[in-house]
Structure 1
């Protein structure tokens, strides 16, 4: 067995996945990168210590591909996987009636089915390296309170939150830690995408127009490190996430009114 620890990261080609890879790599961990974007993964690997990473092309919607990627990572790392970071995801905004069937299904498949498949595939590896192993999922502030103009995306992130809470109990006898990250709007390439196929305005513009902050991706990497080494179940990242959680708990009526009258930051047009 390898003496170092290993983290396997989906969505490792850019954004949160890349930032978390750099953080763990800087601490001496072996980093397995998984994504559909091979060139992006190579760019991430170039930012990591030489010989301390591996690249695995993975579509998280493919259950069999998960097993192959994790086996490849374990082979490259010396037989050990301590953390699986279920991070791959895509945005989808706009009013629900604006979203077409194809983009709804793609968002559900990647953001939700991909996390379920990842958890299934990760379990034997994490059980073997327990105690101290961890399944870390990327949820969202949109999984704290539903985000107008992002019904499908919010549904997937509420789902990720539920998966985290369920597996926290299911996997406790195996001594596997399960937790998630709940970031607000993070400065990654995702917010420079159009929210849906009918929109020609980037998400970033809507966020700034709404007066919301965009959190540096380095803060998510630090939160991931703390999550893996801490005891909390949910880890909010950024002011927006903390404000939504506070309002949802202490002033739900006001939050409901705000969401019904405010500008929709992920809205379509």
Structure 2
């Protein structure tokens, strides 16, 4: 087994996945990325600037494709995977009654099934490099307190939080760390999407109108590095996420009141 540490990142074609790939690559890690966007993956790998890279085009909803991707990466990296970053995910917003069946199922399948399948596939690889190996999952500030106008998305991110906590217990005796990131609104291409098929207003516009901050994506990359190397189970990223975590713990009544008084849910 080679001594160079290796990380595999889903959703590595852009946004948080790309930023984390560049951050770990700059620290001489072997970087593998998976995505459905091959051109985006090529751009990410070209930015890393060294040849210790690997890409695999696949859909995280496909359990068999996970084994193929990780087995291929382990072979390319010299026999090791130290970190799996379960990052692939999609947004969905708007009132629940306005969300289509296809939109709901796609969000649940990518954001939840994808994380579970990734954890299953990564386990034997992470056990080989333990102690110190890590499963890192992208949750969200929407996994701290349910967000009006984003019930499906919030449900998936609460689920990712639960998966993280469950596996933190299951895998402790194997020496595998399990961690999550809980970012608020991050400056990535996802902000330029519309929250659902019935909306013609981008998420970025709604966030700006609400007076919420948009956090630079590099802050998430640094948080990912700290999470992999630290002991904190959940890492909040961005002012909104930190405030929400504090308020939901110490002022739950106020959070509930503010949530109920929200007049215009995201995507409505």
Q: What is the TM-score when the length of structure 2 is the normalising length?
A: 0.99
On the 8 A contact 1:210/1:265 being kept in 2, the answer is no
Find the counterpart in structure 1 of residue 197 from structure 2: 197
Find the counterpart in structure 1 of residue 152 from structure 2: 152
Query: Deviation digits for residues 12-61 of structure 1, max 9, x if unmatched?
Result: 00000000000000000000010000000000000113211101011000
Find the counterpart in structure 2 of residue 140 from structure 1: 140
Find the counterpart in structure 2 of residue 252 from structure 1: 252
Q: Give the match's secondary structure for 2:227.
A: helix
Change in 2 beyond 3 A, CA 1:262/1:52? same
On the 8 A contact 1:140/1:183 being kept in 2, the answer is yes
Find the counterpart in structure 1 of residue 115 from structure 2: 115
Separation of aligned partners in 2, 1:25 and 1:265: 38
Q: Give the match's secondary structure for 2:16.
A: helix
Q: What is the TM-score when the length of structure 1 is the normalising length?
A: 0.98
Separation of aligned partners in 2, 1:45 and 1:199: 34
Separation of aligned partners in 2, 1:58 and 1:66: 8
Separation of aligned partners in 2, 1:141 and 1:124: 30
1:40 aligns with 2:40: yes
Find the counterpart in structure 2 of residue 243 from structure 1: 243
1:26 aligns with 2:26: yes
Find the counterpart in structure 1 of residue 187 from structure 2: 187
Separation of aligned partners in 1, 2:50 and 2:219: 25
Separation of aligned partners in 2, 1:170 and 1:188: 33
Q: Give the match's secondary structure for 1:198.
A: coil
For residues 87-126 of structure 1, the aligned pairs below 5 Å read: 87-126=87-126
On the 8 A contact 1:207/1:265 being kept in 2, the answer is no
- After the TM superposition, list the runs of 4 or more consecutive aligned residues in structure 1 that deviate by more than 4 angstroms: none
Separation of aligned partners in 1, 2:183 and 2:220: 7
Separation of aligned partners in 2, 1:227 and 1:85: 11
Structure 1 portions without partners, runs of 5+ = none
Separation of aligned partners in 1, 2:129 and 2:49: 23
Q: CA RMSD, aligned part only?
A: 0.8
Structure 2 portions without partners, runs of 5+ = none
Query: By how many angstroms is 1:264 displaced?
Result: 4.0
Counting matched residue pairs gives 268
